[in-house]
Amino acid sequence: VEREIAILKLIEHPHVLKLHDVYENKKYLYLVLEHVSGGELFDYLVKKGRLTPKEARKFFRQIISALDFCHSHSICHRDLKPENLLLDEKNNIRIADFGMASLQVGDSLLETSCGSPHYACPEVIRGEKYDGRKADVWSCGVILFALLVGALPFDDDNLRQLLEKVKRGVFHMPHFIPPDCQNLLRGMIEVDATKRLTLEQIQKHLWYIGGKNEPEPEQPIPRKVQIRSLPSLEDIDPDVLDSMHSLGCFRDRNKLMQDLISEE
C-alpha cells in the first residue's frame, strides 16, 4: 500500500485516478481518492457489448495517453484490465488500482509475475524477467481487442490451457475489425517482446491518429521536473524519504540520502 501511495503521489494526469489525501490511525489507513461516478469500463462493456471503432478509439487514446505519462515517470502499471479502468460522468477514462505498479528505471527488468492471466503477456506467464513497459503494451492490446469485439483474444475455462494460449499468442481476428486496426492489434499482441510496438509507435499508427470528425489525439503532457540538491542530510524531508524508499528501486536508504545531497 505504501508503494501505491508513493506512486499515486508522483502522477497527475487527467486520465489517472487522483489521490487527494492520506489519513492514518492506529488501525486503518484511509486513501481519499477522486470520485468517478461512471463505474468500471468492464461493466460498461458488458452492458453495451462490442463498441464502435469511434468509441473504442476514444477510450484507447485516453488509456495510452495516461500510460505514456506513467512510463515517462518510470512507472509501469502491470495490471491493466477493464476492471481497473473507471469512467467519470462524461465517460472519460481514469486508470485506477496501482497496487501492482512498479518503478522501472532505465534498462532494468522486472521479475514479479503479476496481473490477470487474460491480460498478462507471454514473458510474464513464463516467469521470465521482463520489461514492464512492454507488458503494459500487451495488456492494452488485449483491452483494445475486448472493446472492439466484446470478447477476449485468449479465453478458456481451464487455467492451464488459457496460459498455453497466451504463450502461443495465436488468436482469431474478426473480419469486422478495420484492417488498419488489425495491424495495430497484431503489433501490440505480439509474442516476441522485442517486436512488440512501443507507445511511441502506437501513437503514430494510422488507426490511432485516424477517424474523421473525431477529437484529435491528446498531446503528451510535458514532464515538469525541478532538480536541486539539498544542503545537508537535515534538510531531507523524512516523509519524502520514506515515500522514495517504499518505491522499491531505492533499497539502500543511506545511499539514497547521500544522492539527495550530492551535486551530481
Picking from 183, 202, 189, 140, the residue whose alpha carbon sits closest to that of residue 15 is 140
Residues 28 and 112 in one domain: yes
Instruction: Give the number of domains in the chain.
Output: 2
pLDDT at 14: 95
pLDDT at 33: 94
Question: What is the per-residue pLDDT across 111-122, written as a single tens digit (0 to 9) for each?
Answer: 999 889 999 999
Residue type, position 36, single letter: V
CB-CB contact of 168 with 128 (8 Å): no
Question: What is the per-residue pLDDT across 155-208, written as a single tens digit (0 to 9) for each?
Answer: 999 999 999 999 999 999 999 999 999 999 999 999 999 999 999 999 999 999
- Is residue 157, in this structure, part of any structural domain at all? yes
Residues 179 and 152 in one domain: yes
CATH assignment at residue 155: 1.10.510.10
pTM: 0.84
- Is residue 70, in this structure, part of any structural domain at all? yes
Residues 206 and 234 in one domain: no
Q: Does 222 score more than 70 pLDDT?
A: no
Distances from the Cα of 187 to the Cα of 43, 88, 115, 170, 183, angstroms: 27, 30, 21, 13, 6
Residues 232 and 196 in one domain: no
Residue 187 in 3-state DSSP? helix
Query: Can you tell me which residue has the cell 502522477?
Result: 11
> Which structural domain, as residue segments, surrounds residue 20?
1-210
Residues 257 and 167 in one domain: no
- Is residue 215, in this structure, part of any structural domain at all? no
Q: Does 216 score more than 90 pLDDT?
A: no
79 is catalytic: yes
Higher pLDDT, 238 or 26: 26
pLDDT band at 51 (very low <50, low <70, confident <90, very high): very high
Catalytic: which of 21, 68, 79, 237? 79
Residues 241 and 168 in one domain: no
